Chains A and B, each alone.
Chain A
Amino acid sequence: MGCGRSPVLACDDRPRPTSLSDLFFSFTWLALQGFGGVLAVVQQELVERKRWMTNEEFVENWAVAQILPGPNVINISIMIGSRYFGLPGALAAMSGMIVLPLLLLLVLTVSYQQFSDIPAVAGALRGMGAVAAGLIMATGLKMLPALRKNPLGVPLCALFAGVCFVCIALLRVPLVYVLFGLGGIACVIAYWRIGR
C-alpha cells in the first residue's frame, strides 16, 4: 500500500519524530499547553505545527482512540508513538503525556490543601468546577452534529442519546448496563442498517 493511500503510514519525506526523547518532550510540551483538556492542542501541534500527520489522518486516528476504552488522548499518544518506534515509542509518548503534568498537578493539589481553609480559594475552585461541568456538556453538544451522517438516522440517534442521558443523568443507572445494554442494541441496529 503506497503512502498516499494509507493514512496512518507516514511518508518518508514527511516530518517525523527523530527519537524517543523527541516523542517524549513533544507530548510533554503539548500536554502542558492543554488547560481543561488536551485534544485541541494535540490536533494543533501534530497536524498544523509539526506536520507529522494530515488532518484526515488525525481524524481517523482519533476515531479509533475514541472507540477504544481508556483516556482518549492517552490512547492517541500510544497509537502515534507505537507507529514510529513500536512499544518504546508508545511508552515514550504516553509517559510524556503523563509524568510532568502529574507532578505539576500534585504540587497544585498539595498547595490547595494547605490553602483550602481560605474561603476565596474554596470559592474559586467551586466556580471553576461549575465552568468545568459546562465545558464537558459543551464538548458533548459540539459532537452532536457528527451524528447527522450516522447510519442510524437522526431520529434513532436522538432516541438513543435521549434514553442514555435520562438513564445516566436522571436515573443514575450504573454505566455498565447502559453501555452494554443500550449500546449493544444501537450497534446491532447500526450493523443491520449498514448492510442494507
Chain B
Amino acid sequence: MTALMIDLQWHDWLSLFLHYAMLSLISIGGVITTVPEMHRYLVDQHAWLTDAQFNGSIAIAQAAPGPNMLFVGIVGWNIGLNAGGFAWAAFGLLLTLLGTLLPSSLLTYFAAQWGHRNRELRAVRAFKLGMGPIVVALLVATGWILAGAHRDAQQDWRLWLLSALTVVLVARYRVHILWLLALGGILGASGWI
C-alpha cells in the first residue's frame, strides 16, 4: 500500500466531517450504498486516499467481524495517517465515525416510533416501496464498482472471476461467507490473483 503525504487544514477536516454527515442522512439502504460517492469525493476529487487504501479499508472491515460500516472509521484512520501519524489517525477515525453515526442515529431514534405508528399511511408506504428497486440496484452497483477498481489489466480477469464466483455461490447456493473470504485470502496469498 503506497502511502500518501497530504496536508489537511482545519477547514478540510470540517468539510470531511460535513461530507460524512451529509452522506449519513442520504445513506438509505446502508452506508455501503454511499461507497461510490465516498470514493468520488476522497480519491478522485481530493486525493486524500489512494485507491488501494480505500479498497483495503473496506476489505479489512468486511473480513473482520462486526458491522461493515466500521470501514468508515478505517477510511478516516487512513486519511489521518496520510496527514501525519497516529494522533491524526485517531482523530480522523472519530471524525468520520461521528459524522456517519450522529445524524442518522438521531433521526432513527426519533423517526422510528413515528414511522411505526404511521406505517399504514399512504405516503409512508409509497416511500418504502418506491425506494425498493433503487436500494437494491445500489447494492449491486456498489459491488460492481468495488470489483472493477483494480487497474492491472493482466490480473483483472482473475479478480473478476473470483467476484463473479462469489456472487453465484452466495446468491444461488448460500455458501457461508467465511469459506469464501478464506478462499479469497488463500488465492490472493498464493499469488494466483
Contact = CB atoms under 8 A, between A and B. Distances in A.
B79 interface: no
Interface in A12-61: 31-38, 60
Query: Secondary structure at chain A's binding surface: helix, strand, loop or mixed?
Result: helix
B186 A34 contact: no
A97 interface: yes
A157 interface: yes
Contacts of A191: 122-123, 126, 130
B94 to A, nearest CB: 10
B163 A133 contact: yes
Contacts of B116: 8, 60, 64
Contacts of B188: 120, 122-128, 130
Interface string A80-99: 00100001001000100110
Interface residues of A, number: 100
Interface string B180-193: 11011111111101
B29 A164 contact: no
A168 B138 contact: yes
Interface residues of B, number: 101
Contact of A186 (B62, B64, B66, B131): B131
A161 B144 CA distance: 14
B167 interface: yes
Contact of A137 (B115, B134, B167, B187): B167
A99 B187 CA distance: 32
Interface of A: 8, 31-38, 60, 63-75, 78-79, 82, 87, 90, 94, 97-98, 100-102, 104-106, 108-109, 112-113, 116, 119-144, 146-147, 150-152, 156-158, 160-162, 164-165, 168-169, 172, 174-176, 178-180, 182-183, 186-191, 194-195
27 contacts: A31-B65, A64-B112, A70-B101, A71-B67, A78-B109, A87-B109, A94-B105, A100-B66, A104-B65, A105-B70, A109-B74, A109-B77, A120-B188, A126-B59, A126-B150, A127-B159, A127-B183, A132-B146, A135-B62, A140-B143, A147-B136, A169-B36, A169-B145, A178-B134, A183-B131, A187-B126, A188-B126
